[in-house]
Structure 1
Amino acid sequence: MPSDHHHHHHPSTLAIHGDDPFATSIDIAPPLHVSTTFRYSNNPDELLSSPPTSGGQSFVYSRVAEPNTTRLEAVLSAVTKGHALTYASGLAAFHAMMVYLRPSVVAIGHGDRAGYHGCHGVLELLKKLYGLRVVDLEDEKAWDEAGLGAGDVVHIETPINPYGEALNIKAYAERAHKRGAYLTVDSTFGPPTLQDPLELGADCVMHSGTKYLGGHSDMLCGVVVVPHSRKEWFEGMWTERMFLGSVLGSLEGWLGLRSMRTLDLRVKMQSRNAEALVAWLDEMANGKSSDGASEDSAAFVTASVVHRIQHASLQKDDFEWLKVQMPNGFGPVFALWMKDEDLARKLPSKLKLFHHATSLGGVESLVEWRKISDPSIDPRVLRFSIGVENWEDLRDDLLQGFKALLGKDNTN
C-alpha cells in the first residue's frame, strides 16, 4: 500500500523522497533488482503468515511484486496523491482500467477529439469479447440511446493527442456523474505538476508513463491512479494485474524511478519551451508581428508555409477554467498544420534539432508527420514534442526549416 510518508511536501520533494521508507540499503541511488523470484523465510512458522500483499515488501515472484516497481509506485502515489499501479505500457494500463470497471457503454472522443488511436483499438477488442458499446463523447443523444448510466465510462484525453488542446475535466466529470457513470482521464499529455485530474473530479486516471513520467525515450510504462477514497479499486486492480500479466519489467521500474526524480524540472521547462515556440509561431503566422513584410522576414516565411497552430495556450476563451486545471503550464506538445501535405511530409527532413520519430515526452525535441502513425489524421498535421533544449535554438531551427521548404538559403 502506498505510504503517506512526506505526504504534505511539494511534488518535487515527493519525487525524491516518496520512496524513502523502501530505502533499506546504504545506497543513495536505488539499486537495480533483476531477480524474478525471492527466497522464502527460513522460519517454517512464517511460511503462511505473510502472503504477498499489494504494495508490501513480502516479495515472492516478480509478476506479483518486486522491489523496483514497488518503489516507483510509492513515488507515483505520493506525487499523484492517489493509489498508483504500474503496467507494461500505456495501453496495458487502459486495458486494465476497462477490465476492472467493466462498462457496458464507453463514451470517447471522435474526430479531432479522438485522442490516441490505440485506446480505440483496445475498445474494439473488448467489443469482440462482450459486446461493449462505444459512443461519441460529444453526442449525448447517443449516450441516451445506448443507455449510458451507472457503472459506465466517460473517457477523455486531455490535452488531446496529437493537437495539445485541452478539455475541461471538471465539466466532463459533472456530465458523467449526473448519470452515475465514471470519468476516466488519460492525462499522458498533462503529467503531474501540470495537471491533477483527481482533484477535478476524475474517478480514475491513466498515463502512458513511456512519455513524461519516463522522460528519456528509453522505457515502456503505463500507470493507473485511483483516489484514496477508492482503496478497493486499487486492491482489485492490483489483484487483476497478476492475472492479466501486464506487469512492468524490473529494468523499467528502475528507469522510471530514476526519471521521476527530475519530473518537475523537465516537464515545466518543456512546457515553457513549447509555450514560447507556440507564441512565436502564432505571432509570425497570423499577422501579429512587426517583423516586416519582406520575403526574407520570419513572419512572411512562416505565414507562407504554416496554416494553423494548435495548443492549449491558444485557447484564450477557455482560460477561466484552463488556468485552474493547468496552473503550471499548458503542456509540451503542439500541432502545426502546414499549408499542404507536401510541406508537412518534407519539413521534418529539413530540421536539425528535432528528431523525426513517433512518441513524445523525452528530453529531446521530436517532430512527427502524424499520418505515418495514425492514417486517420489530416495529412497536413505535424506533431511537435518539445524537449529541454534552449527554445530560441529550436525557434531558429524551425525558421531555417521553413526557409528550406521555400528554397531559400539554408543556414548550416
Structure 2
Amino acid sequence: MSKFILQPSAVTGIPSKYSTETNLVHADEFLNEVNDVAPPIHVSTTFRYPRDPSKLIAAKDLPLEDADSHVYSRLSSPSTARLEALLSSHLNGYAIVYSSGVAAFHAALVHLNPRQLSGSLFYHGCHGVADIHSRLTGMKQIPLDCPVEDLQPGDVVHLETPLNPLGTAFDIKYYADRAHSRGAILMVDSTFAPPPLQDPFEFGADIIMHSGSKYIGGHSDMLAGVLVTRDIKTRWKLWDERLYLGGVMGNLEAWLGTRSARTLEMRVLRQSENATKLVGWLSEELGKEGSVIGGGGGEC
C-alpha cells in the first residue's frame, strides 16, 4: 500500500499552536515545490521518474513528506496533495478528496460494504447512490430512527446534519451512542456545518463526509467530495480503493479548492453572522401588525 504525500504532523488531529485561520494558509507549505507564494496550477496527469536509476524508489517505500513522489494523478498530484493537507488540518482527521460529494459517499459505501444502511433524510444524490448500491449488493435500507435492535454490527448509520436544504439539525452524540451500542458505524455528512460550526468527531462520528462544492469551495466553481477519518489505516485503504474506483478530484478543481480553503473559516463565520442577523430581522418583522412579509403574529 503506497503512501503518497501525506505528512503525519499535518493530519494528526492534534490542535496546533496556531489559529485555524493560520493553519488554512500554511498547513500545506511543506508540499511547496517552488518559491511561488500562491500555489501554481498543475495540470499534468503524469510525472517523470528520476533519471538516475539509483534514485528510483518503490512506491510502497516513498516517504510521506516527499513532495516529488507523484507518478500519476489518479494516485496523487501536487494540487490534490495540498488540498488534502489543508483539509486534514482543518477537519481534525485524515482527509481524502473525491470528484464530488456523491463520489465520496459511494466510496464510503464501497469501503464499508454494510448489510444495512440506516438513514431517512439526506441529500437526494446520496439516496440515488444508495439505491444503486442496494441493487448491486443487496444492501437493505432502513429508517434513521429504526428500533435500535434492528441495527447490526457493521451497519452504517448515515446522518446528515444540518439537513440540505431544510437546515434541520440532529443530535450527533445521540445517534453515535445508538450506533456504537450495536456495533454500527456512524457517518456524518457535515456539508452544511463545516468547522468552526461543528466537528462531528467531538460527538462520536466515525467518518465525516463533506460535499466540497458547498462551503469548502464557496465560489460555485468546483465540484468536490471529502471523507475524513481518524484512522490512518482507513485513510490509506480509501486511497487505495479510490485508485480503482476512479473518483479522483481533477487537478484544476483541487487548485480551486486550495484557493477556497484559505478563507473557509472567515467565510463560514461571516455567513453565519449574516444569517443570524437576517433571522432576527425576519422574526421581528413577522411580529409586527401589517408586516408585508408575515401579516403579524407569525414565527420565523
TM > 0.5:
yes
User: Which residue identity lines up with residue 234 of structure 1 in the other structure?
Assistant: R
Picking from 124, 127, 134, the partner of 1:120 is: 127
For 1:261, the equivalent position in structure 2 comes to 262
Contact 2:100 2:211 in 1 (8 A): yes
The residue that corresponds to 1:207 in the other structure is 210
**Distance apart, 1:48 and its partner CA:** 4.6
Give, in angstroms, the shift of residue 50 of structure 1: 4.2
Distance 1:107 1:158, change over 3 A: same
Q: In the alignment, is residue 7 of structure 1 matched against residue 16 of structure 2?
A: yes
Kindly indicate whether residue 95 of structure 2 is the aligned counterpart of residue 84 of structure 1. Answer: yes
After superposition, the C-alpha distances for 1:376-404 in whole angstroms (9 at most, x for unaligned) are xxxxxxxxxxxxxxxxxxxxxxxxxxxxx
Q: 1:26-56: per-residue Cα shift (whole Å, max 9, x none)?
A: 1000111110000011122333534567785
Compute the displacement of 1:180 (Å): 0.6
Among 46, 58, 62, the alignment partner of 1:49 is 58
Q: Which residue of 2 aligns with 1:319?
A: none
Q: TM-score, normalised by structure 1?
A: 0.67
Q: How many positions carry a matched residue from both structures?
A: 289
Which residue of structure 2 lines up, in the alignment, with residue 16 of structure 1? 25
Counterpart selection for 1:161 from 155, 161, 164: 164
SS in 1 for 2:142: strand
Classify the secondary structure of the residue corresponding to 1:303.
Answer: coil
**1:282: how far off?**
2.2
Please show how residues 328-343 of structure 1 align to structure 2 within 5 Å.
none
Give the corresponding residue for 1:303: 294
Q: Find 1:133's aligned residue among 140, 144, 149.
A: 140
Is contact 1:54–1:235 with CA below 8 Å preserved after alignment?
no
Distance 2:213 2:17 in 1: 27
RMSD of aligned C-alpha atoms? Answer: 2.0
Q: 1:104 & 1:84 partners in 2: Cα distance?
A: 25
Cα gap change, 1:137 to 1:54, in 2 (>3 Å): farther
Q: What do the CA deviations read for 1:80-133 (whole angstroms, capped 9, x no partner)?
A: 110000000000001101111111111102xxxx12111111110001111001
For the Cα contact (< 8 Å) 1:173–1:183, is it kept in 2?
Answer: yes
Whole-angstrom CA distance in 2 between matches of 1:236 and 1:308: 48
Matched, 1:150 2:153: yes
Is the contact made by 1:87 and 1:93 (CA closer than 8 Å) also made in structure 2? Answer: yes
* 1:236-271 Cα shifts (integer Å, max 9, x gaps): 000000000000000001000000000111010001
State the one-letter code of the partner of 2:210: H
* AA aligned opposite 1:74: A
The one of 169, 175, 178 aligned to 1:175: 178
Long gaps (5+) in structure 1: 310-412
The 1:305–1:95 alpha-carbon spacing in structure 2 relative to 1, beyond 3 Å, is farther
State yes or no: 1:281 paired with 2:299: no
- Quick check: 1:2–1:77 contact (8 Å CA) kept in 2? no
The answer (yes or no) to whether the contact 1:3–1:78 under 8 Å persists in 2 is no
Partner of 2:107 in structure 1?
Answer: 96
Contact 1:2–1:78 (8 Å) recurs in 2: no
Give the corresponding residue for 1:30: 39
Letter in 2 for 1:302: I
**Paired residue type of 1:250:** N
Q: Does the 8 Å CA contact 2:285/2:296 hold for their aligned counterparts?
A: no
Q: For the structure 1 residues 55 and 105, does the alpha-carbon distance in structure 2 shift closer, same or farther, using more than 3 Å as the test? A: farther
2:31 partner letter: F
Once the two structures are superposed, what CA deviation does each residue of 1:141-187 show, in whole Å capped at 9, x if it has no partner?
A: xx53xx42211111100111111121111111111100011110000
Give the 3-state SS of the residue equivalent to 1:170 in structure 2. Answer: helix
Correspondence for 1:65: 76
CA contact (8 A) 2:157 2:184 kept: yes
**In 1, Cα distance between the equivalents of 2:83 and 2:195?**
14
Amino acid at match of 1:126: H
Indicate the residue corresponding to 1:396 in structure 2.
none
Closer, same or farther in 2 for the Cα pair 1:55/1:65, shift >3 Å?
farther
Structure 1 vs Structure 2: percent identity of aligned residues? 48
Distance 1:72 1:55, change over 3 A: farther
Residues 121, 281 of structure 1: alpha-carbon distance in 2 compared, 3 angstrom cutoff: same
The code of the aligned residue for 1:173 comes to: A
TM-score (structure 2 length as normaliser):
0.91
Q: Which has the larger radius of gyration?
A: 1
* Structure 2 unmatched ranges of 5 or more: 1-5
Cα separation, partners in 2 of 1:124 and 1:55, compared to 1, 3 Å: farther
Aligned to 2:3: none
Secondary structure of 1:9's partner?
Answer: coil
Whole-Å separation in 1 of the counterparts to 2:98 and 2:177: 29
* Change in 2 beyond 3 A, CA 1:53/1:150: farther
